Copies of this chain bind each other. A is one copy, B any other.
Amino acid sequence: MPTSKNKPGKKGLKIVIKIGRYVFSSSLDSKTLSAYAGFLRTLRREGHRVVVVTGGGDEARKYISVARGVGGSEYTCDTLGIEVSRLNSRLLITSLGEDAYPAIPVSLEELRKAFESGKIIVMGGLQPGQSTNAVAALAAEAVEADLLLNTTNIDGVYTANPKEDPNAKKLDKIKTSDFLKLVIDDKLSAGGYELFDPLAIKIVERSKIPTRIIDGRKIENIERAVKGEPIGTLVES
Protein backbone atom coordinates (compact mmCIF):
# COMPACT_ATOMS: atom_id res chain seq x y z
CA MET A 1 0.00 0.00 0.00
CA PRO A 2 2.26 2.83 -1.19
CA THR A 3 1.66 6.12 0.59
CA SER A 4 1.54 9.03 -1.79
CA LYS A 5 4.18 11.61 -1.00
CA ASN A 6 3.24 14.92 0.54
CA LYS A 7 4.81 18.01 -0.93
CA PRO A 8 7.22 20.23 1.04
CA GLY A 9 5.34 23.22 2.39
CA LYS A 10 2.47 21.02 3.56
CA LYS A 11 1.80 20.14 7.18
CA GLY A 12 2.50 16.68 8.48
CA LEU A 13 5.56 15.91 6.42
CA LYS A 14 7.93 13.06 7.16
CA ILE A 15 11.34 14.76 7.12
CA VAL A 16 14.84 13.34 7.46
CA ILE A 17 17.58 15.85 8.26
CA LYS A 18 21.28 15.07 8.18
CA ILE A 19 23.20 17.38 10.53
CA GLY A 20 26.90 17.43 10.05
CA ARG A 21 30.18 18.78 11.21
CA TYR A 22 29.12 22.41 11.43
CA VAL A 23 27.22 21.54 14.63
CA PHE A 24 29.48 18.77 15.92
CA SER A 25 32.76 20.64 15.56
CA SER A 26 35.68 20.52 17.97
CA SER A 27 34.17 23.52 19.71
CA LEU A 28 31.01 21.54 20.42
CA ASP A 29 28.84 23.93 22.42
CA SER A 30 25.56 23.76 24.28
CA LYS A 31 24.17 26.95 22.84
CA THR A 32 24.30 25.82 19.22
CA LEU A 33 22.85 22.47 20.15
CA SER A 34 19.97 24.11 22.04
CA ALA A 35 19.16 26.32 19.08
CA TYR A 36 18.85 23.34 16.72
CA ALA A 37 16.86 21.41 19.31
CA GLY A 38 14.46 24.32 19.66
CA PHE A 39 13.93 24.41 15.91
CA LEU A 40 13.35 20.65 15.72
CA ARG A 41 10.79 20.82 18.53
CA THR A 42 8.97 23.52 16.59
CA LEU A 43 8.85 21.25 13.53
CA ARG A 44 7.33 18.51 15.66
CA ARG A 45 4.76 20.84 17.13
CA GLU A 46 3.76 21.92 13.64
CA GLY A 47 2.89 18.30 12.97
CA HIS A 48 5.95 17.13 11.12
CA ARG A 49 7.50 13.76 11.87
CA VAL A 50 11.25 14.15 12.03
CA VAL A 51 14.28 11.86 11.88
CA VAL A 52 17.68 13.44 12.46
CA VAL A 53 20.93 11.77 11.45
CA THR A 54 24.00 13.17 13.18
CA GLY A 55 27.48 12.88 11.73
CA GLY A 56 30.60 12.10 13.70
CA GLY A 57 32.14 15.54 13.24
CA ASP A 58 35.52 16.54 14.60
CA GLU A 59 35.49 14.14 17.53
CA ALA A 60 35.18 11.23 15.13
CA ARG A 61 38.20 12.50 13.24
CA LYS A 62 40.19 12.64 16.48
CA TYR A 63 39.37 9.06 17.47
CA ILE A 64 39.98 7.77 13.96
CA SER A 65 43.35 9.42 13.87
CA VAL A 66 44.44 7.67 17.09
CA ALA A 67 43.08 4.36 15.76
CA ARG A 68 45.11 4.69 12.56
CA GLY A 69 48.14 5.36 14.70
CA VAL A 70 47.79 1.95 16.38
CA GLY A 71 47.22 0.14 13.08
CA GLY A 72 43.42 0.20 13.01
CA SER A 73 41.78 -1.08 9.83
CA GLU A 74 39.29 0.91 7.78
CA TYR A 75 36.61 -1.24 9.38
CA THR A 76 37.70 -0.19 12.86
CA CYS A 77 38.03 3.46 11.94
CA ASP A 78 34.50 3.47 10.53
CA THR A 79 33.24 1.70 13.64
CA LEU A 80 34.71 4.42 15.83
CA GLY A 81 33.17 7.06 13.58
CA ILE A 82 29.77 5.42 14.00
CA GLU A 83 30.13 5.28 17.76
CA VAL A 84 31.05 8.96 17.97
CA SER A 85 28.12 9.88 15.71
CA ARG A 86 25.90 8.16 18.27
CA LEU A 87 27.44 10.19 21.09
CA ASN A 88 26.41 13.24 19.08
CA SER A 89 22.92 11.76 18.71
CA ARG A 90 22.77 11.36 22.48
CA LEU A 91 23.65 15.02 22.99
CA LEU A 92 20.87 16.09 20.66
CA ILE A 93 18.39 13.72 22.32
CA THR A 94 19.32 15.27 25.66
CA SER A 95 18.75 18.71 24.29
CA LEU A 96 15.36 17.71 22.86
CA GLY A 97 14.12 16.30 26.18
CA GLU A 98 10.63 14.78 26.08
CA ASP A 99 10.26 15.49 22.35
CA ALA A 100 12.89 12.91 21.48
CA TYR A 101 12.62 9.15 21.43
CA PRO A 102 14.95 8.07 24.26
CA ALA A 103 16.87 5.36 22.38
CA ILE A 104 19.14 5.55 19.32
CA PRO A 105 18.14 3.12 16.55
CA VAL A 106 21.08 0.98 15.43
CA SER A 107 19.36 -0.58 12.43
CA LEU A 108 16.75 0.53 9.91
CA GLU A 109 14.31 -1.97 11.41
CA GLU A 110 14.74 -0.36 14.82
CA LEU A 111 14.25 3.05 13.21
CA ARG A 112 10.93 1.93 11.76
CA LYS A 113 9.74 0.69 15.14
CA ALA A 114 10.90 3.85 16.93
CA PHE A 115 9.24 6.01 14.27
CA GLU A 116 5.87 4.60 15.38
CA SER A 117 6.27 6.57 18.63
CA GLY A 118 5.60 9.92 16.95
CA LYS A 119 8.62 11.42 18.68
CA ILE A 120 11.71 12.91 17.04
CA ILE A 121 14.14 10.10 16.27
CA VAL A 122 17.85 10.83 16.42
CA MET A 123 20.38 8.36 15.08
CA GLY A 124 24.00 8.16 13.94
CA GLY A 125 25.86 5.82 11.59
CA LEU A 126 24.84 2.22 11.00
CA GLN A 127 27.58 0.22 9.36
CA PRO A 128 31.23 0.51 8.27
CA GLY A 129 31.55 1.52 4.62
CA GLN A 130 28.70 4.05 4.73
CA SER A 131 28.79 7.77 5.32
CA THR A 132 26.06 9.27 7.51
CA ASN A 133 24.80 10.89 4.28
CA ALA A 134 24.00 7.41 3.05
CA VAL A 135 22.38 6.61 6.39
CA ALA A 136 20.15 9.67 6.01
CA ALA A 137 19.07 8.50 2.55
CA LEU A 138 18.44 4.95 3.81
CA ALA A 139 16.46 6.33 6.75
CA ALA A 140 14.40 8.48 4.37
CA GLU A 141 13.66 5.40 2.29
CA ALA A 142 12.82 3.27 5.34
CA VAL A 143 10.26 5.74 6.72
CA GLU A 144 9.06 6.77 3.25
CA ALA A 145 10.02 10.37 3.88
CA ASP A 146 8.53 13.28 1.97
CA LEU A 147 11.72 15.27 2.25
CA LEU A 148 15.41 14.61 2.78
CA LEU A 149 17.56 17.55 3.81
CA ASN A 150 21.31 17.18 3.72
CA THR A 151 22.51 20.17 5.67
CA THR A 152 26.15 21.03 5.35
CA ASN A 153 28.50 24.01 5.44
CA ILE A 154 28.20 25.04 1.82
CA ASP A 155 25.10 26.34 0.13
CA GLY A 156 24.59 23.60 -2.46
CA VAL A 157 26.24 21.54 -5.17
CA TYR A 158 28.75 23.31 -7.43
CA THR A 159 30.00 22.37 -10.89
CA ALA A 160 33.49 22.21 -9.39
CA ASN A 161 35.19 22.80 -6.06
CA PRO A 162 34.47 26.50 -5.42
CA LYS A 163 37.58 26.86 -3.27
CA GLU A 164 39.82 25.88 -6.19
CA ASP A 165 37.96 26.89 -9.30
CA PRO A 166 36.75 30.51 -9.60
CA ASN A 167 34.39 29.47 -12.39
CA ALA A 168 32.57 26.95 -10.18
CA LYS A 169 28.85 27.62 -10.41
CA LYS A 170 26.21 26.67 -7.85
CA LEU A 171 23.45 24.49 -9.31
CA ASP A 172 19.79 25.00 -8.42
CA LYS A 173 18.99 21.47 -9.51
CA ILE A 174 20.98 18.41 -10.37
CA LYS A 175 19.92 15.04 -11.73
CA THR A 176 21.01 12.02 -9.72
CA SER A 177 22.89 10.63 -12.72
CA ASP A 178 24.87 13.87 -13.15
CA PHE A 179 25.45 14.11 -9.43
CA LEU A 180 26.85 10.58 -9.40
CA LYS A 181 29.33 11.49 -12.14
CA LEU A 182 30.46 14.62 -10.28
CA VAL A 183 31.04 12.60 -7.14
CA ILE A 184 32.81 9.73 -8.89
CA ASP A 185 35.01 12.00 -10.98
CA ASP A 186 35.96 13.59 -7.70
CA LYS A 187 35.54 16.98 -9.30
CA LEU A 188 34.41 18.20 -5.95
CA SER A 189 37.61 17.07 -4.24
CA ALA A 190 37.44 15.28 -0.92
CA GLY A 191 34.44 17.46 -0.16
CA GLY A 192 32.52 15.59 -2.82
CA TYR A 193 31.99 12.51 -0.79
CA GLU A 194 31.03 14.60 2.17
CA LEU A 195 28.25 16.22 0.19
CA PHE A 196 26.70 12.96 -0.77
CA ASP A 197 28.17 9.57 -1.47
CA PRO A 198 27.28 7.19 -4.34
CA LEU A 199 25.12 4.97 -2.13
CA ALA A 200 23.12 7.98 -0.96
CA ILE A 201 22.55 9.05 -4.56
CA LYS A 202 21.48 5.55 -5.61
CA ILE A 203 18.93 5.39 -2.78
CA VAL A 204 17.52 8.86 -3.52
CA GLU A 205 17.21 7.90 -7.17
CA ARG A 206 15.58 4.53 -6.81
CA SER A 207 13.04 5.70 -4.24
CA LYS A 208 12.55 9.14 -5.80
CA ILE A 209 13.08 10.91 -2.48
CA PRO A 210 12.69 14.71 -2.75
CA THR A 211 16.14 15.85 -1.60
CA ARG A 212 17.85 19.19 -1.01
CA ILE A 213 21.43 19.99 -0.16
CA ILE A 214 21.50 23.19 1.84
CA ASP A 215 23.71 25.26 4.09
CA GLY A 216 22.57 24.32 7.57
CA ARG A 217 24.64 26.86 9.45
CA LYS A 218 21.66 29.22 9.40
CA ILE A 219 18.65 27.48 10.89
CA GLU A 220 16.31 29.60 8.78
CA ASN A 221 17.67 27.85 5.69
CA ILE A 222 16.34 24.56 7.00
CA GLU A 223 13.04 26.24 7.83
CA ARG A 224 12.76 27.58 4.31
CA ALA A 225 13.51 24.18 2.77
CA VAL A 226 10.75 22.63 4.87
CA LYS A 227 8.35 25.29 3.60
CA GLY A 228 9.22 24.31 0.05
CA GLU A 229 11.29 27.32 -0.92
CA PRO A 230 13.90 26.81 -3.69
CA ILE A 231 16.99 27.01 -1.51
CA GLY A 232 20.32 25.18 -1.98
CA THR A 233 20.37 22.45 -4.62
CA LEU A 234 17.46 20.17 -5.44
CA VAL A 235 18.42 16.60 -6.33
CA GLU A 236 16.10 15.27 -9.01
CA SER A 237 15.57 11.56 -9.61
Where the two chains meet, the residues of A that have a C-beta atom closer than 8 Å to any C-beta of B are 1-3, 28-31, 33-34, 37, 59, 62-63, 66-76, 79-80, 83-84, 86-87, 90-91, 94-99, 101-103, 107-109, 112-113, 116-117, 119, 126-130, 134, 137-138, 141-142, 144, 180-181, 184, 198-199, 202-203, 206-207
Question: Which residues of the partner chain B approach A96 to less than 8 Å between Cβ atoms?
Answer: 1
How many copies of this chain sit in the oligomeric assembly? Answer: 6
**Contact yes or no, B70 A1, CB < 8 A:** yes
Distance of A72 from chain B, by nearest CB (Å): 4
Instruction: Establish whether residues B113 and A102, one from each chain, have CB atoms under 8 Å apart when the complex forms.
Output: yes
A151 and B88 alpha carbons, distance in the complex (Å): 29
Q: Is A207 in contact with B83, judged by CB distance below 8 angstroms?
A: no
The residue that A95 contacts in the complex, of B1, B59, B84, with Cβ under 8 A, is B1
Q: Main SS of chain A's interface residues?
A: helix
Contacting A102 at CB < 8 Å: which of B116, B130, B138, B180?
B116
B103 A3 Cβ-Cβ under 8 A: no
Q: Is the CB of A87 within 8 A of B95?
A: no
> Is B83 in contact with A95, judged by CB distance below 8 angstroms?
no
- Asked, given contacts A138-B128, A198-B199, whether A207 binds B75 with beta carbons under 8 Å apart, the answer is yes
Q: A72 to chain B: which residues have CB within 8 Å?
A: 94-95
Task: Known A83-B83, A87-B80, A113-B103; judge A70-B30 contact (CB<8 A).
Answer: yes
Pick 5 A–B contacts, CB within 8 A, sort by A: A2-B71, A30-B70, A73-B141, A102-B112, A130-B199
CB distance from A65 to the nearest CB of B (A): 8
Docked complex Cα distance between A88 and B171 (Å): 42
Would B90 and A80 count as touching, CB distance under 8 A? yes
**B75 lies within 8 A of A30 (CB):** no
Given contacts A73-B2, A103-B109, A103-B112, contact A66 B91 (CB under 8 A): yes
**Distance between Cα atoms of A135 and B135 in the complex (Å):** 16
User: A143's closest neighbor in chain B, by CB?
Assistant: B75
- Whether A37 and B3, one on each chain, are in contact in the complex, defined by CB atoms closer than 8 angstroms, is no
Residue in chain B with minimal CB distance to A30 = B69
Do B1 and A97 touch across chains, with their CB atoms under 8 A apart? yes
A59 CA / B141 CA spacing, docked (Å):
24
Which of B28, B70, B129 contacts A134 (CB under 8 A)? Answer: B129
